[in-house]
């Protein structure tokens, strides 16, 4: 009787050891790979406008779009780096990208953006802007992509879907946008209008630190979805 009990005990212990081994094997083969370092992707983050070109202006606070674009671009840069992405910024201060001596500053600025994008070896480009419209009721983010660029469209749809899910007024679908920063490259590129500075409520929200963090985190989630990460 005692021998049988010992044998039973041995079987139970044996089973436990087997289960532990199986658990370790499953962890390392099935679960562990998702925690392994991600392939190194590079993202160009483009803060729209800058220098003499302030872009849109807040209807109430007078905040400039070029300032907010930089704020959002730098927040997105911080979060992307935390997730292991390499980031190339087109601008990191309030100066314009144009040459001071250029007669056509807009042309000079655009050429510089294109040069940075082309030299970056980036996997994708995200251009940050703030919108404005004559009617103050217009509000909500909108994601644009260049016509005929399937990868850009796919990226735009991924980002747009996340924003729409998590922000009340975010536009439902991504749209084709005829913007130089989208048309100047074959890389997947999107332009995100984060919200309307012509809507006083949204103007205040866009300047809120928590809102900025939440918005940029959602942009990153859209990018992660695009990479299937």
Query: Which residues contact Zn ion by CB under 5 A?
Result: 48, 55, 129
Nearest approach, Cβ of residue 140 and Zn ion (Å): 16
Give the residue at shortest CB distance from Zn ion.
Answer: 129
Beta-bridge mates of residue 89: 45
Contacts of 83 (CB under 8 A, 6+ apart): 38, 220, 224
Nearest approach, Cβ of residue 200 and Zn ion (Å): 19
- Please say which residue, 97 or 221, places its beta carbon nearer to Zn ion: 97
CA 225 from chain centre, in angstroms, equals 10
- Please say which residue, 113 or 129, places its beta carbon nearer to Zn ion: 129
Is the distance from CB of 75 to CB of 29 less than 8 angstroms?
no
Nearest approach, Cβ of residue 54 and Zn ion (Å): 10
Helix or strand (DSSP H, E) at 176: strand 175-176
Nearest approach, Cβ of residue 129 and Zn ion (Å): 4
- Please say which residue, 86 or 175, places its beta carbon nearer to Zn ion: 175
- Please say which residue, 144 or 167, places its beta carbon nearer to Zn ion: 144
* Phi, psi (degrees; rounded to nearest 5) at 35: -100, 0
Is the distance from CB of 58 to CB of 104 less than 8 angstroms?
no
């Amino acid at each position: 009787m005692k021998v049988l009990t010992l044998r039973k005990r041995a079987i139970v212990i044996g089973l436990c050891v087997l289960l532990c081994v199986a658990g370790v094997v499953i962890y390392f083969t099935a679960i562990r790979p998702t925690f392994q370092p991600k392939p190194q992707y590079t993202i160009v983050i483009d803060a729209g406008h800058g220098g003499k070109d302030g872009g849109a202006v807040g209807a109430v606070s007078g905040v400039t779009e070029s300032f907010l674009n930089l704020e959002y671009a730098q927040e997105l840069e911080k979060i992307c780096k935390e997730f292991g992405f390499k980031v190339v910024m087109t601008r990191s201060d309030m100066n314009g990208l144009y040459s001071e001596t250029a007669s056509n500053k807009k042309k000079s600025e655009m050429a510089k953006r294109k040069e940075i994008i082309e030299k970056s070896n980036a996997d994708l480009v995200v251009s940050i802007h703030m919108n404005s419209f004559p009617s103050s009721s217009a509000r909500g983010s909108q994601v644009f992509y260049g016509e005929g660029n399937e990868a850009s469209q796919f990226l735009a749809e991924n980002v747009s879907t996340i924003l729409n899910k998590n922000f009340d007024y975010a536009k439902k679908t991504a749209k084709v946008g005829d913007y130089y920063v989208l048309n100047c490259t074959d890389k997947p590129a999107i332009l995100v209008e984060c919200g309307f500075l012509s809507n006083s409520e949204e103007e205040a929200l866009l300047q809120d630190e928590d809102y900025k963090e939440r918005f940029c985190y959602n942009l990153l989630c859209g990018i992660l979805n695009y990479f299937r990460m």
